[in-house]
Amino acid sequence: MSTLRQQMIEAMCQRGFSKRTHKSYLEVVRSFALYFNQSPDKIQARQLQDYFDYLVQQRGLGGNSCRLHLHGLRFFYLHVLNRPEFDIPIVFPKKKERIPELLTRTEVQQIIEACPNDKHRVMLLTCYGCGLRVSELVQIKIQHIDGERQLLRIEQGKGSKDRMVVISPSLLQRLREYWHSHHPKYWLFPNANTPKLHLSVTTIQKQFRRAKQATGITKAGGIHALRHAYATHQLENGIAITQLKQQLGHKNL
């Protein structure tokens, strides 16, 4: 173990940092040194900004990840090496984001049909059919479905405001078939291993990516692309803007 690494570990132990922080900060300093191909004690403060430009523009890191790097580097240089010149403001450049490309009706159908698991397939169908956020999708409860009025209550959506969403007759029929075959008791889409919990957001996001990959569709965007597609397709069908805003839970479009 290098002397610098040992000094950093001792400094973190003295401050009671968690094992997770130990690991994160050590990796931050290691990555920083590798980028410049220098021992970290040889790197100058003026090089910091170049490194953060690289993190955002080349590695695609977001704000939280960049802040972790900044905190780790500042700790190392200020508290281990005692180099106050590293306490300088850093500007995080804006991350280049790929705008989700609109999925056609045919592509949406292909993705849904490519999902091999029936529960996940119904989830994608519901996400698109009701224009839901993925966080809203996983938290649907059986009691939220009003079959008689063909409505779905979205509980505590964005802005903590409940709203009612229209369910098409075909989607309602599919949900009934799903209920009869899977018998969910509380959550409409429960966790398979722990039914008292709903399925996780990451699980259905992963299933969407796999299904899209299986179709060969290369358009940018994750599961949120289904919500974008729903909004666009509804407008093409002639839905009023005010009604669409209410359906999506938006103040503005």
Give the homologous superfamily in CATH for domain 105-248: Intergrase catalytic core (1.10.443.10)
User: Tokens 């410049």 label which residue?
Assistant: 36
What are the φ/ψ torsions at residue 153 (nearest 5 degrees)?
A: -90, 125
Q: Is pTM, for the whole model, over 0.75? A: no
For 13-51, write each residue's pLDDT tens digit.
999 999 899 999 999 999 999 998 989 999 999 999 989
pLDDT at 105 over 90: yes
Q: Alpha-carbon distance 7 to 27, whole Å?
A: 15
Q: What angle do CA 222, 60, 134 make, to 5 degrees?
A: 25
pLDDT of residue 98: 59
Question: 159 or 31: whose pLDDT is higher?
Answer: 31
Torsion of CA 148, 154, 156, 162, to 10 degrees: -60
CATH number for the domain running over 3-86: 1.10.150.130
CA distances from 137 to 5, 205, 237 (A): 46, 11, 23
DSSP letter assigned to residue 238: T
Q: Alpha-carbon distance 29 to 34, whole Å?
A: 9
- Helix or strand run (H / E) with residue 54: helix 48-57
pLDDT of residue 158: 45
Q: Are 138 and 189 in contact (CB under 8 A)?
A: yes
pLDDT at 60 over 90: no
pLDDT, averaged across the chain: 90
Choose among 78, 79, 96: nearest CA to 87: 78
pLDDT at 97 over 50: yes
| Residue extents of the structural domains in the chain | 3-86, 105-248
Question: 246 or 187: whose pLDDT is higher?
Answer: 187
For 239-249, write each residue's pLDDT tens digit.
988 889 888 88
Classify the phi-psi angles of 62: left when phi > 0, otherwise alpha if psi is within -120 to 50, otherwise beta.
beta
- The region of weakest confidence among 35-44, 57-66, 123-132 is 57-66
